[in-house]
Amino acid sequence: MAILARVLCLLIGYGLGSISTSYLYGKAKGIDVREHGSGNAGTTNTLRVMGRKAGAIVLAGDMLKTFLAILLTWLIFHWFFPDMDYLLRIYTGAGVILGHDYPFYMKFKGGKGIACSGAMILSFYWGIIPASVVIFFGIFFMTHYVSLASIFLYLGFMAQLLIFGQGGLLGMSQPALIEMYIVAALLTALALFQHRENIKRLIKGEERQTILKKTKKDGELGELAKETEEKVEETVEELAAVYGEEEKTEKVTVIEPQKKDNKTDNEDNIVEEVIEEIEEEIQEAVEEIKEEAEEFVEEVKEKITDNDDSDEDSSDSDVEDLSDNSEEDN
């Protein structure tokens, strides 16, 4: 029965954990976050690609599914195995993290499980929470590296488990404690594996920082809209350059015969008029292209902003508070 309880905790956790909030929210907005940014279906990538509000919603969703899974398994097994309470919690948390990282319907390509891990820690022994919060946010606000803060969050959690477990504060037998340590160590190893590329970039000094401060330039649009705007601007410049080359060609083809053939004054006047007409037409064409490109960029901004406004029920200050909590993720 005890073995069955462990298996059920893993399965329940995996089932709820495989509900990818970032993937579903992105699809609702017509975006697959796995095709943008880092390609990771997690809170941090959603924050960078779709904006702060989207990141906050995904963070809340990932943490909520973890809370629900642990609460459900606690309601089922607490009365039968009161001495295995914390052990079954960590099994459930492990299931949620595996489901989040490797959802079967997404070809096992999910997130890194840090938001789920944070929720698991908050659902664990209360004495572990204060130090875990200080470790994560302390490192994050000092370095602005989510990956580094996430790694130290796990290392701190593992150390605290050993301290509280061996101190007898968890009320578990030594065999159950050892089993819990093993599961926690495996989760720590998984977190390090999931952040292996981040670790390489940290060593090289190439890891990207996450800055929560909102700027006037990017607002709430995220990187996707900014990338679109940049591409449009590049296209406009390329078209303008092409028209510029055509203008030069027209001048050469018209002026050179004039020089070689020594046309009369009347012919010179006609040529000059033709050149002026060509220049005016080219200028008008370039202006039209620029106007169309600017309208396209504005449509992209309005579309994304309208989608965000339709879901938003709270004030901007509430969104910023949620965003600060969002960095408990990956």
Q: Do residues 248 and 194 share a domain?
A: no
Q: Compute, in degrees rounded to 10, the torsion defined by CA atoms 19, 66, 101, 90.
A: -140
- Please check whether residue 169 is in contact with residue 127, taking contact to mean a CB–CB distance below 8 angstroms: yes
Per-residue pLDDT of the chain (330 residues; tens, 9 = 90+): 789 999 999 999 999 999 999 999 999 988 888 888 888 888 888 988 888 899 999 999 999 999 999 999 999 998 898 889 999 999 999 999 999 999 998 888 899 999 999 999 999 999 999 999 999 999 999 999 999 999 999 999 999 999 999 999 998 999 999 999 999 999 999 999 999 999 999 999 989 888 776 544 443 445 555 555 565 566 656 666 665 555 555 454 444 444 445 545 666 667 677 777 777 777 777 777 777 777 777 776 776 666 656 555 544 544 444 444 444 444
Print the domain residue range for 259.
222-328
- Count CB atoms within 10 A of the CB of residue 10: 21
CA–CA gap between residue 218 and residue 216 (Å, rounded): 6
What's the confidence (pLDDT) of residue 325?
43
Which residues are CB-contacts of 70 (< 8 A; sequence separation ≥ 6)? 13, 89, 92, 93, 96, 120, 123
- Please check whether residue 86 is in contact with residue 124, taking contact to mean a CB–CB distance below 8 angstroms: yes
What's the confidence (pLDDT) of residue 266?
61
Angle between helices 265-311 and 222-261 (to 10 degrees): 180
Does any domain span residue 43?
yes
The residue among 256, 221, 229 whose CA lies nearest residue 53 is 221
Q: Do residues 264 and 151 share a domain?
A: no
Structure tokens at 16: 């709820």
Compute the 3-state secondary structure of the chain and give helix, strand, coil in percent, each to the nearest 5: 80, 0, 20
- Count CB atoms within 10 A of the CB of residue 314: 11
Q: Do residues 96 and 226 share a domain?
A: no
């940014």: which residue's tokens? 37
Does any domain span residue 213?
no
Q: Do residues 227 and 139 share a domain?
A: no
Structure tokens at 7: 């298996």
Does any domain span residue 212?
no
CA–CA gap between residue 86 and residue 318 (Å, rounded): 33
Of the chain, the end-to-end C-alpha distance in Å amounts to 35
Q: Do residues 288 and 183 share a domain?
A: no
Q: What is the largest CA-CA distance in the chain?
A: 109
> Among 204, 232, 251, which residue terminates a domain?
204
Structure tokens at 223: 């990187």
Q: Do residues 82 and 193 share a domain?
A: yes
The residue among 251, 249, 239, 234 whose CA lies nearest residue 286 is 239
> Among 204, 238, 262, which residue terminates a domain?
204
Q: Do residues 50 and 177 share a domain?
A: yes
The residue among 166, 217, 162, 168 whose CA lies nearest residue 185 is 162
Number of domains within the chain:
2
Q: Do residues 172 and 242 share a domain?
A: no
Alpha helices in 167-221 (DSSP H): 174-194, 196-204
> What's the pTM?
0.66
What's the confidence (pLDDT) of residue 241?
66
Q: Do residues 81 and 190 share a domain?
A: yes
Does any domain span residue 167?
yes
> Among 177, 204, 231, which residue terminates a domain?
204
Does any domain span residue 315?
yes
Query: Using alpha carbons only, how large is the chain's radius of gyration in Å?
Result: 29
Q: Do residues 199 and 240 share a domain?
A: no
Q: Do residues 103 and 155 share a domain?
A: yes
